[in-house]
Chain A
């Protein structure tokens, strides 16, 4: 019976998924446990920060500026209807700092740095470099995985902050310089509306959580990838998809906690 077969297949896949989730959790905990070397030999982490953080800078900076500019443009069009153009500053800043900065920066980070990490680790596994390290009595999780994890977690809030800052600048350029919204009210209303603890720190907290999630997913998918060409390519696709979903779901959960009744 084909229906029974399909149900069996779904059951199989679900059990497989739960099993995989358990394995992933254990992998994540091992990464944390073996993180000592990432800090004692900080140059390892610094090197990874170059490949994840610095190399993602261009896409973050360009995207941030343009998102801010679009916010400025669209925001002006909408606020104009209610005669509240002077609130453009608060609109741009709050949207960026609370939501768009952390979320979009994390999504871009997942596609660029996350998939790169997955491919790198997947290939290292496929060409037996990880096994070679094991045989050489060097713990591959401590030497290869943990530094990349901490590099991602440290880079993520910095990238999100840069994204938001450039977004505000982009909104300023479009709103004040190009359209002509009053500069004074742009900045003063923004400063009145954006609270350091409530908005900015919450945004930073969000980006740290996203950093942990995206990096953990990327590293796990790479480590668990089958050692073939299809295996690695499938793993990178899964990284981007799973990271994106995780970011959006976590964003909702965090927003509900942080901005409830504000």
Chain B
């Protein structure tokens, strides 16, 4: 079954179509088939509140972005979804199951249906590209090596890196490493894919490539993808829905169009990259002129 899906995905990719919003029917935000649900999630780190009453819904088959400044809590949300952190209050449900109440077995069973792409890839540096992509197949399945070989080659081809299988991760460029990590993430055709800053540190070409791959793979696998990022331009090109997080709370949400046309001051400052606005330029700590003893 996975082979068929990937074959279908390859057709899509081989067709050379570039996906743009508006060309699909994913416009209307449907909340009835939620794969991931966050209900009133609160989280505090050593009595410092990080998440304050987060409510989010991620329907099946959609590509949703969580945006915000560094340190606003978006990576913490991702960690809650992957089960690494437990909320101090509230619920995180994946496919109907409350993930932080599962025991180790249940958590691992859930994680086998998830894929996560880490910032900068997190490839295993002591293995070749082939072994990295084959890792999950070898650990979780009993597939014979020749089938694993075919699957690995297909995944690598899907991200456009067929031929690199014998290279070591240290021999790859940043963009290539990110794509190999992507191939590894989708190795077992997960139903939920999490992306932690997938666009960080990439050149313009790689940015578009990774963005398009994320979208196409989401469509080809019928999966749900959640991207945590602060790269506005790239993400708005490919997402169905956006959540804006600031200081641990959701301050705006909507489709890509809604966000671009938003009147909300913070969203405007973020999307247009303005220097000053609700997020001030100056660190709020007293008057500079007073420090220099300059008379006003």
Interface residues of A (CB under 8 A from B): 120, 123-124, 127-129, 131-132, 134-139, 143
Contacts and interface: CB of A to CB of B under 8 A. Distances in A.
A33 B112 CA distance: 22
11 contacts: A127-B122, A128-B118, A129-B124, A134-B84, A136-B135, A136-B139, A137-B107, A137-B108, A137-B111, A137-B140, A138-B139
A155 B114 CA distance: 38
Nearest to B79: A131
Q: Which of A120, A134, A139 has the most CB of B within 10 A?
A: A134
Interface residues of B, number: 21
A136 B111 CA distance: 6
B116 interface: yes
A123 B125 CA distance: 10
Nearest to B116: A135
Contact of A127 (B82, B125, B140): B125
Contact of B118 (A120, A132, A139): A132
A160 B25 CA distance: 70
B136 interface: yes
Nearest to B187: A136
Interface in B85-139: 107-109, 111-112, 114, 116, 118-120, 122-126, 135-136, 139
Contacts, number: 47
Interface in B132-161: 135-136, 139-140
Contact of B84 (A123, A127, A131): A131
B139 to A, nearest CB: 5
**5 smallest beta-carbon distances between A and B, as pairs:** A137-B111, A128-B122, A137-B108, A132-B122, A135-B116
Interface in B48-82: 82
Interface string B169-190: 0000000000000000000000
Given A128-B118, A132-B122, 18 more contacts: A124-B124, A127-B122, A127-B125, A128-B122, A129-B123, A129-B124, A129-B125, A131-B84, A131-B118, A132-B116, A134-B84, A135-B84, A136-B139, A137-B108, A137-B109, A137-B140, A138-B136, A138-B140
Nearest to B111: A137
A152 B20 CA distance: 55
A115 to B, nearest CB: 17
Contacts of B108: 137, 139
Contacts of B82: 135
A128 B107 CA distance: 19
B122 A129 contact: yes
A224 B294 CA distance: 49
Nearest to A138: B139
B125 A135 contact: no
Q: Which of A129, A134, A137, A139 has the most CB of B within 10 A?
A: A137
Contacts of A128: 118-120, 122
Contact of A135 (B109, B114, B119, B140): B114
Contacts of B112: 137
A52 to B, nearest CB: 14
Contacts of A134: 84, 111
Contacts of B107: 137
